[in-house]
Homo-oligomer: A and B are copies of this chain.
């Protein structure tokens, strides 16, 4: 068991998987810096990402290992992988192949904004309403 100081200041990679066996992975576009998506990795997804330089995740809904782009072709080439202070979160800077990362057909999963300064119920505002690809055509083609 690593000490808090070892985890924060050391050079040993000791990812702190949660009780569910996962760490959070934040994915940004290496060129624009925009956040494309937030996903999760188990130990196997992380090992495959490190070895291959392409992003693998663990799908909580489908309960399976998943290579980004395996259906869509929208593979993520990892430019840099970073770990945070307490080693329970990862940051992937990626070259996103194809027109987008989001399963809804958009470049980024973060296409709506939450207006600030108001209490109570909130109405979202689209920032990128337009789709850059047709998810039905992309994801259904192999099924």
Contact = CB atoms under 8 A, between A and B. Distances in A.
Protomer copies: 2
Nearest to A117: B53
A124 interface: yes
Given A51-B117, A81-B116, A114-B50, A38 B11 contact: no
Contacts of A89: 38, 109-110
Contacts of A104: 8-9, 85
A66 interface: no
A61 to B, nearest CB: 9
A111 B104 CA distance: 32
Most-contacted residue by chain B among A9, A10, A112, A121 (CB, 10 A) = A112
Contacts of A126: 11
A30 to B, nearest CB: 10
Interface in A1-52: 8-13, 24, 26, 28, 32-35, 37-38, 47, 49-51
Interface residues of A, number: 53
Contact of A83 (B12, B24, B114): B114
A91 interface: yes
A50 B110 contact: no
Contacts of A102: 85
